[in-house]
Amino acid sequence: MLWVSDSTCVATWRGFVYVAFVIDAWARRIVGWRVSASAHAGFVLDVLEQAVHERRPGKRHGAGSSFGPRLVISEH
C-alpha cells in the first residue's frame, strides 16, 4: 500500500481556499480530500481520517458512487 498526500492553496474569485488530498497510488484513486477557507491541523487530519475510513479492512472497494469522496467545505 502506498499513499501520497499533498495540500495547496488555490486562488478563487472569492479569495483563497486550501485543498488537501490523499491518493492511493496502487489503486490510482483519491481516497480522501477536503477544501477549507483556512489551513489548520484539523483540516489535514480530517483528510487522513477520511482516507483511512475509505480504505478500512473489509470494506468493499468500488461499491457506491463512482464520483469518489464527497466535497466538504470547512469554514473554520
Question: What is the per-residue pLDDT across 9-66, written as a single tens digit (0 to 9) for each?
Answer: 999 998 999 999 999 988 889 999 999 988 888 888 889 898 888 877 665 555 444 4
Helix runs in 1-76, H state only: 41-54
Q: Interior CA angle at 54 toward 5 and 2, to 5°?
A: 40
Most confidently predicted of 2-6, 58-62, 71-75: 2-6
Nearest CA-CA partner of 27 in 50, 51, 45, 9: 51
C-alpha to C-alpha distance for 60 and 46, rounded to whole angstroms: 21
C-alpha to C-alpha distance for 18 and 38, rounded to whole angstroms: 6
pTM (2 d.p.) = 0.65
